[in-house]
Structures are given as structure tokens and as C-alpha cells.
Amino acid sequence: MAVVSGMRYAGYSTRLTVAMVVFRHRAAPFCVLIGAEMTAYWEHFAHDADIGVRGVADSIAAAFEQAAVAMTAVITDPAAVASDVMVEIDCEVPDVELLLVDWLNALICQMALRKMLFGRFEVMLTGTQLHATAWGEPVDVSRHAPAVEIKGATYTELKVYQQEDGRWVAQCIVDV
């Protein structure tokens, strides 16, 4: 579930169905999950004129999936995007950080070319080769109410790393 208010909101995936308590304050909402361990999530982080997207998960591939959901959430609520059309994407670059930017830019390109939004992603990584499937639907302006058009994923704040708790983080700034 995404809670939208200004620039700070996050989406969470869990292994179990859980109750989510949402507290809304003037500065920014935050979520508390009750009854399950958080396995993956996405979030936005502030940047001067653009916005940061971050995915956190138990694997690099899942962190890339969450970063893609965060990117969609810059535009619209990912939960409002139906999984009607499947698109496959392949990328290969010399390192995993560049792969994140290449992956997000490939999605941006597919969104522009097909006039679609994607809300569900499956990423498979073999070294620095990525094979992914994105599910989405054509943009419906009245239903999706797109907030912005993303121009591209950038190398600014680009990081892919493993945290001390074992989870992977994949993040960068997207130009809006």
C-alpha cells in the first residue's frame, strides 16, 4: 500500500497479509507494519529539483524491482496500474550500479514508446546481465492522473550495496 503526501512516501511488501497503521502528520506520513517482517520496500528521497528512488530487499534483483515500483510511484499510484500487458527487457553493462540506471532507463523508454505505465516487475540477474518482465497497461490520464513525466534515471546518488542486516539497496535520482 502506498501513502502519498508530498515527496515522502513508501511502499512495502511482506510475506504475510498484515495490518498497516498509517499516521499522517503535516511533514510526512509514515507507516508501521504489524504482525510480519518487512521483506522489501520502496521509498523516495529528496533531491534539489528531482527525486530519488530507492528499493530495499533481500536480493539485488528484488531491490531493482522495488526501485522500479518507486519510479512508477513518482508518476502515479503503482497499485492503480493493471497488469494487462507484459513487456520483456534485457540489459547488460559492466557493473551492477550502471545496470540499475540502464534498467530504469529501459523502463522509461518502454513507457514513452508504448504510452504505458508499469506497476509489477520481475527481475532476474546473472552477473551484470538483467532479464526482466514488466506488467502494465496503457496510460489512462483520467484514472492514473500522472503527476510528472520522468525524463531519465541519472548517475546522481547512484548506489547499489548490501546493508549490515543483509538487505540490498538500489537507488538513484530520476530527472523529472
102 belongs to a structural domain: yes
The predicted pLDDT at position 51 comes to: 96
The predicted pLDDT at position 17 comes to: 30
CA 127 to CA 96: how far, in whole Å? 8
pLDDT tens-digit readout, 47-70:
888 999 999 999 999 999 999 999
Q: What is the CATH classification number for the domain harbouring 100?
A: 3.55.10.10
The predicted pLDDT at position 8 comes to: 34
The predicted pLDDT at position 160 comes to: 98
The predicted pLDDT at position 49 comes to: 84
Q: Which structural domain, as residue segments, surrounds residue 99?
A: 42-175
CA 94 to CA 112: how far, in whole Å? 26
16 belongs to a structural domain: no
Percent of the chain with pLDDT over 70: 78
The predicted pLDDT at position 11 comes to: 56
Q: What predicted TM-score, i.e. pTM, was given to this entire model? A: 0.81
* Residue 164 Cα distances to 12, 45, 80, 169, angstroms: 20, 20, 34, 11
13 vs 76 pLDDT, higher one? 76
CA 103 to CA 56: how far, in whole Å? 16
33 belongs to a structural domain: no
Percent of the chain with pLDDT over 90: 76
> How many other CB atoms are there within 10 angstroms of residue 142's CB atom?
5
Indicate the number of domains in the chain.
1
Looking at residue 58, its amino acid is D
4 belongs to a structural domain: no
26 belongs to a structural domain: no
